[in-house]
Amino acid sequence: MNYSDFDLGMTTKITRRDLLQDAGLISLGLGITPSAAAATTLGADHTSYPPTRTGLRGSHPGSFEGAHAYARDGLPHPKPQPLDEAFDLVIVGAGISGLAAAYYYQKRFGVDRKILILDNHDDFGGHAKRNEFHQGGRLQLAIGGTHNLEYWQFSETVSALMQTLGIDIPKLRQQTDFNYGRNGAKGRAIWFDAETYGVNKLVTGCSLKGPPSSSPLPYLDQFPISTTAKTELRAFYKRQTDVLAHLSSAERADYLHTTGYFDFLESKGGLGAEARQLFKTACHGSWGLETACLSVAEALDDGLPGLNLIGETAAESDWDYPVGIFPDGNASIARLLVQRLIPSIAPGVTADTIATTDFDYSQLDRPQNAVQIRLQSTVIDVAHQKGAVHLTYLFGGKAFALKAKQCVMACYHSVIPYICPTLPAAQKAAQRYQVKYPLLLTNVLIRSRAPFTELGIDGAACPGRLHSALFLMNGVETGGYAQASDDPGPVPVTFWGSLSPPDGIENFWDKLRASRTRMLNLTLEDYEREVRSVLQDLLGPAGFSAKRDILAITVNRWPHGYSHEYLDLWDPKWEEGQAPHEIARQRFGNITFANADAGASAYTHTAIEEAARAVAELGAQGLH
């Protein structure tokens, strides 16, 4: 149904909607230094507390324009004002990798070393973005980016840091009733929208990806698709064979890793375009990519159907994903790191109280601290000269210059060639190669979970919509937070996915850039209208009113989202030491490189490992 903006509540005022409270602009008006501006404007009250800001978050307005203008587009740099500050280390990027680098630097060289962390956003944590809601009368938390801890992949280095931070993985598991990746604890559901499929239809009990019990085969008659597409899908799911039986083991592996999944669905699975399109965005959340970009092996590993065509089966347990998770995702990890670096920001906080503790942001950038975190500070130039590192950054519309003995670049790789132009050409080419995968997480606070309860769902896949899935963000009661999975009160609904590029783009990197451009070009109103329409159509039959029942909306857009992981169809096989991420992270003078990009793996534990490596590469010369 086409709703008017009035019907959807677009004209309804939402408290603190799109609040910026830009400390940089305030500092420009007052003519005071960056550190003083941060200390005087970012207090812990909820009118300027970054985690409570709604509207466009992630790469929010003010966080990227300077880098685009001065670094990417070549606008002449403004003459910087030299700052009378001295640091042993400057870290570019206050995400988990940058924060961990500060921790490892202190551990190696001493807690008295002066460290400055610069970040272009108005909050620390990078993709580990904390989303708070208070519009429902009490604290509600949701994930704004990095979700969880894959503890089974932890190295000794990462496990040791988790122990230092007081994070008890078994306790996290015991306090979590959140069925990650299954659209909630109540099982699977697919929602077909009228705009795409001609009718609004909720089909419960099945999924387009997942374990054998989620197969849509018994439910195909309910799908609002053509008879031809249903017939093709029914034959596809029923068939038990091995279409690769004639191949040797080596040939079989080659086929699975060099054949596109959609080609496999067509040539071996007999699925036409309409049936294949059901799976088009199924990997948006898990990969940040169109499913057509994946090989057969990658798609099957992500839970998409087709094992029955290659003579394989999977146990139900193969799809278990027993993550460790906080109610704000890995934002709690970032907060624990910040408190360790700057104890005065939240005295006495622990992993058992981290989720519900306010942080005093006025403590972030105080000269008396050994570690200072300077937000809303966009680095546009970094150079190694005469044994020191010289940096220029933007704050409040002005440029500032400072010098440090050493530097860790903990920002994403593809921006580094623009802000470190003196790096070797091969290193810059390797960094440019690592184009990140876009990620989108939109959180909507609704008045009650009652409509979901009445429909018998906790979420649904949405194959025809902007976001590929949605789920209730409840049942995670860790870090001192309480929000039971059956709590009837206000609850965040998380919309998860990426953005499809326009049709007709064949080159993989061009697809990523087109998705990124689309993500930045959509306005807050575009995102808001989308989620209001989806919730109204999905929940309306259960008494939901978008105009009445939506309390707040936060759009976490990450045009530079997941780290570039090498793909079967698009990336060559490099010799050891010659892969782009290995060349991209090579030390340059007193500059080293962290971030998950340096490990070519989009995980928090990778970001931490790369931080430890980057600090280990820094020598002790010049620090005495």
Predicted pLDDT of residue 46: 43
Summarize the confidence of residues 452-481 as an average pLDDT: 93
Predicted pLDDT of residue 180: 59
Burial class of residue 228, CB neighbours in 10 A (0-12, 13-18, 19+): exposed
Ramachandran sector of residue 429 (left: φ over 0; alpha: ψ -120 to 50; beta: rest): alpha
Q: Which token pair is 211?
A: 């374990």
The answer to whether 180 and 321 have CB atoms below 8 angstroms apart is yes
pTM over 0.85: yes
Summarize the confidence of residues 586-600 as an average pLDDT: 97
CA nearest to 377, candidates 118, 85, 51? 118
DSSP string, 431-489: HHH-PPEEEEEEEEEES-SHHHHHHT-SEEE-TTSSSSEEEE---B--TT----TT--S
Q: What is the pLDDT of residues 187-239, one digit of tens each?
A: 689 999 999 999 999 999 999 998 888 899 999 999 999 999 999 999 999 99
Q: What is the pLDDT of residues 331-386, one digit of tens each?
A: 999 999 999 999 999 999 999 999 999 999 999 999 999 999 999 999 999 999 88
Three-class secondary structure of residue 5 per DSSP: helix
Confidence at 13, pLDDT banded by 50, 70, 90: low
Predicted pLDDT of residue 125: 97
| Integer Rg of the chain from CA | 24
Confidence at 37, pLDDT banded by 50, 70, 90: low
**Mean pLDDT across the chain:** 91
* Residue 15 confidence (pLDDT) above 60: no
Enumerate domains of the chain plus CATH numbers.
Answer: 5-16+130-180+436-562 (3.90.660), 23-52+76-124+364-434+567-616 (3.50.50.60), 189-319 (no CATH)
Separation of CA 16 from chain center: 23
The answer to whether 176 and 332 have CB atoms below 8 angstroms apart is no
The answer to whether 70 and 380 have CB atoms below 8 angstroms apart is yes
